Amino acid sequence: MPKITEELKKEVNEKLKFIGIHLEKIPEEIKKPDILEFKPLKTYTDKEHRVYKHIPVSQIQILVTPKNRGASIKEKYDSATYLYSYFFPQKEEVAEKYATLLNMLHLSSIEEIEKIEKKQKQFQKKIPFKVKYEDAYLWEIYYDEITNQYFMLVPGDNPGYNELFYLLKMQIAFAQNKKNEPMIYVPINLLNYSDTILTKTEIKDLENYLWLFTGDWANFYEVYNQKEELTLHIIGNTEVYERIKTHYKIVLKDRDEGSKFYKKIKALFILQTELSNYYHFQTKINAKSELEFYHHNQKMEYDQLAEFIKNETVKITEQIQNNFQKIENLKEELKELKDTVTEKEKQYLLKQKEISTYLQCKRTFLGKVKYFFKSKKTQKMEEVILPEEQPQKEYGNINLQLLENVENEKNRYSIENLVAIYYLLKQQANMITNMTLDYNALKIKDENMELKLKNAQTYIDEINDHKKSIFEFWKFANKDEKMALEVGNEVEEKREKITKTFQFETDIEELGNKMDKLQRVKLSNEELNSLFLASDKEILKEINIEKKNSTEQLLQNLKQEREQKEEEYDIEVYDIFGMGLADRTKTKKLADKKHREIERDKFRILNLSRNTSEEELKSALERFSQYLKESFNKIKAPSDIPIYFITSEEMKFNQYLVGDLDEENVLKSLTEKKGKLYKVTIKESLPILFFTNIVYYDNRNNTLPVGMNVSTKAMIDGTKLEFVLKEKGKFKTNAYSENTDITDKLEVKEIEYYEYEAKEN
């Protein structure tokens, strides 16, 4: 507690005057507050704020407690006293309280109170987009149901008391004129949902449902306006493209809206969880930042949900009917193919028996003679008995009762029936898959049997060709030949090389370290200087333009920028030391690591002075352009690397292109409401340059940290690549809007995205 000095008294009096308090004339409304009868339950927790209200300032009692903010509500309330008891410096028994008041005033700020006042005036016109606002937790305001009163608890460990004195200032102002009572927009502690628009159970369900679609836990707030009218606000985040997220807000005004929204989300949740192989709903936002759900570009609305379920049911029912015919056809084809294979097996076994007899007889002299003369006679082949057949394979039974139930309820299409017939479709799909696999296996077996038969017949024909005379047969039978009867198809397995694709969140540190080390070794200082120059948009634009164009405008801009930089230093010292003005012994920090390196400077690299001519600048740019070309021959992509670009117009690929590995950085740079986002995937081993740390510092002292800590940008030469469009689409995002505390609407940016794959020309 500060010592009471004349300076402190002056400060306190100034703040008391600003608040409007005269210690000798304290308003009766403050001196005699209504007595509260608050009885907090042990189960209460004031850590969450579910309800926000606009409250007239006169309805809020102010209590001060010595307990800290982390104490239980019961401890804080039981030890609290009314603020009016702190305003009596002449009474010895309350001297300690008065000293506390002085300390509270000392820790407050007139400037901060004015900021609160300005913000609260804005809240009367429009509430924040996210409902809550910065430092809202400092308003520890509670509701006493017994006396129908609000009270503010001011804990003893407050970092400041600006909210307290702002409220007191408003109360005093209203007590003096009794006109246009001001209201404050604040969270109410310990107040639970009213169950008016959605019940607590429904809100709990919606939290889980929305998480499935957005991957983010939504916040639910009940908000009362100045007329005590209630709305339910649901605020959260959802991914709209890769790592790009956006804020969304849903405002439900009454029970009817709440019920429809709850039923819609529940229906979509059931479909996506029960039928995850068939339904996956995408989330988007509209121009008002409201959350929308889509299925194959069809917007899912509650009023059209019944029609959607009907159409899906009819579509799947037709597919099931078609599958029945497909199954019957497969059964017939399987039977025919199986009969064909069985017949070929019989033929093969006959030929195999004939060949086996020959091989057995050729072992002995008598056997050869016996086979020669015996086989000359026409013999009736014995009937071949195949091994006992396996029982016909069962593919399961289709539960036709499910389909009959659906057809009997044609006027009562429901999610339950839709899930049921999808189960039936899944049964059919499994059956068709198994039958198709069996058919393909039999087909291969049939082809193998055909080859075996052909091979066996060739062997038999060769034996018969040598039976024209006993001597020729004798000579043939004595040969040691081996015939391969078991011939089958050989399937050449095609193996595609699996390449790693760069993921920014997990791979940026590893990539930065690897490429920074590589570029320090592979690239010369001149090549690094050329890459550094390319980080300047104006210089890169000039490098991309043909040599015949004028560089006069660029030269003027560079000279003007150089002059502005000179003004930061003493001109004579600047001229003496040039761009090396920085002290190489001075320690700097990069990525929390110390180093003693000097940043590269485009003016020094270009040798730019007040007397530099346009021809000299053009010559320097041509020289560094050549260094850039040489650099691209030295550095290759270590994996598939996606690079992002943003433009307001169509992108030109046939030039040097500088993009960012972080798509969020790209979106932040967009100033217009509309833009075109380009994602270009550079395949492994294609030329690419990275803006690693060595591009920005010279590292003469060898103390520069390794990585990509200055920038996450990369550069490609579009003239040497072919760009193939793979996908395109649209999304909206408001994630890069600012000042969400004081606006009820966020600026929504509409983005067209194009995904390209780059290949070598």
Would you say residue 24 has pLDDT above 90?
A: no
Strand pairing partners for 682? 641, 758
The count of other CB atoms within 10 Å of the CB of residue 370 is 12
Give the model confidence (pLDDT) of 176-233 as tens digits.
887 888 999 999 998 889 999 999 999 999 999 999 999 999 999 999 999 999 999 9
The count of other CB atoms within 10 Å of the CB of residue 602 is 18
**504-760 belongs to CATH 3.90.176.10:** yes
Instruction: Provide the residue ranges of all domains of the chain, joining segments of one domain with +.
Output: 6-189, 200-300, 322-477, 504-760
Q: What is the pLDDT of residue 583?
A: 58
Give Cα 598 distance to the centre of its chain.
37
Give the Cα separation of 552 and 540 in Å (integer).
Answer: 15
Would you say residue 277 has pLDDT above 60?
A: yes
* Better-predicted residue by pLDDT, 299 or 157: 299
Give the Cα separation of 397 and 32 in Å (integer).
Answer: 83
Give the pLDDT band (50/70/90) at residue 46.
low
> What sign does the dihedral 501-503-507-511 (CA atoms) show?
positive
Q: Are 757 and 727 in contact (CB under 8 A)?
A: no
CA-wise closest residue to 670 among 745, 725, 718, 737: 737
Lowest mean pLDDT, pick from 120-134, 441-455, 730-744: 730-744
Give the Cα separation of 300 and 308 in Å (integer).
Answer: 8
Give the model confidence (pLDDT) of 583-604 as tens digits.
556 788 888 889 989 999 999 9
Give the model confidence (pLDDT) of 598-637 as tens digits.
999 999 999 888 888 888 888 899 999 999 999 999 999 9
Give the pLDDT band (50/70/90) at residue 462.
confident
Give the model confidence (pLDDT) of 664-696 as tens digits.
999 988 888 999 999 999 999 999 999 999 999
- 471-480, 583-592, 602-611, 710-719: which has the highest mean pLDDT? 710-719
Beta strands in 486-552 (DSSP E): none
DSSP per residue, 309-330? HHHHHHHHHHHHHHHHHHHHHH
* DSSP-based three-state secondary structure for 415: helix
Residues 563-584, mean pLDDT to the nearest whole number? 56
The count of other CB atoms within 10 Å of the CB of residue 355 is 16
Lowest mean pLDDT, pick from 290-304, 563-577, 651-665: 563-577
List the structure tokens of 125: 């016109």
In Å, what is the CA distance from 363 to each residue of 81, 355, 359, 370, 376?
119, 13, 7, 12, 19
* Better-predicted residue by pLDDT, 406 or 695: 695
Would you say residue 572 has pLDDT above 50?
A: no
Q: What is the pLDDT of residue 361?
A: 79
Interacting residues of 525 by C-beta distance below 8 A, sequence separation 6+: 698
Give the Cα separation of 60 and 50 in Å (integer).
Answer: 19
pTM of the model: 0.81
- CA torsion angle 172 175 178 181 (round to 10): 50
Torsion angles phi and psi, residue 678, rounded to 5: -110, 130
Q: How high is the mean pLDDT of the chain?
A: 85
Q: Are 578 and 572 in contact (CB under 8 A)?
A: no
Q: What is the pLDDT of residue 54?
A: 96
Give the Cα separation of 117 and 109 in Å (integer).
Answer: 12
Dmax (CA) for the chain in angstroms is: 145
Give the Cα separation of 535 and 522 in Å (integer).
Answer: 19
Strand pairing partners for 754? 678, 728
CA-wise closest residue to 342 among 376, 382, 372, 385: 385
Interacting residues of 156 by C-beta distance below 8 A, sequence separation 6+: 64, 65, 66, 67, 68
Give the model confidence (pLDDT) of 521-554 as tens digits.
999 999 999 999 999 999 999 888 865 566 788 8
Give the pLDDT band (50/70/90) at residue 70.
confident
Lowest mean pLDDT, pick from 12-26, 121-135, 607-621, 702-716: 12-26
Give the pLDDT band (50/70/90) at residue 380.
very low
Q: Are 346 and 382 in contact (CB under 8 A)?
A: no
CA-wise closest residue to 23 among 98, 112, 122: 98
Q: What percent of the chain has pLDDT over 90?
A: 47
Give the Cα separation of 168 and 21 in Å (integer).
Answer: 9
* Better-predicted residue by pLDDT, 257 or 92: 257
Residues 741-753, mean pLDDT to the nearest whole number? 87
Give the model confidence (pLDDT) of 299-347 as tens digits.
999 999 999 999 998 899 889 889 988 988 999 999 999 999 989 888 8
Q: What percent of the chain has pLDDT over 70?
A: 84
